[in-house]
Amino acid sequence: MSEEEHALFGEFCQSLDVTPSEALRRLARSAALLGPSFTGEARAEVVALTRQMRAIGNNLNQAVHHMNAGHVIQSEDMRGHLEAVSRAIGELDRLYRSLCVKSYRRTEAAVAGRSK
């Protein structure tokens, strides 16, 4: 990098409140369409959905454990658990895809704004 580019990159990192190595990692992930690094509100949403999926998975594990022990599980109960898993996975997938698109667009805009 030239001295001017280095200074601009330093300002860019400060504006994001990240280290240069973290900024490069985020830019590389976004440019390669690998998805964003989750921070702030987006991270909280992903964590909440992950907890929800864990709880549903725990319920499914318990149901299967009971079935393996010879207990009868009502089909309505199992259907409810499976539908909850499907909804949670769909919601997580939609959230993740939207966050990836937003991150990619922000990165494109940031790069375009800096290259002028």
Average model confidence (pLDDT) across the chain: 80
- The owner of tokens 């454990």 is 65
Which pLDDT value is given to residue 115? 52
This prediction has a pTM of 0.48
Look at residue 114 in the predicted model and tell me its pLDDT: 59
Pairwise CA distance, residues 48 & 104, whole Å:
23
Pair 89, 53: CB distance under 8 Å: yes
**Cα gap 61→83, rounded to integer Å:** 15
pLDDT under 70 in the chain at which residues?
A: 35-36, 107, 111, 114-116
Ordered by start, the domain boundaries in the chain are: 3-114
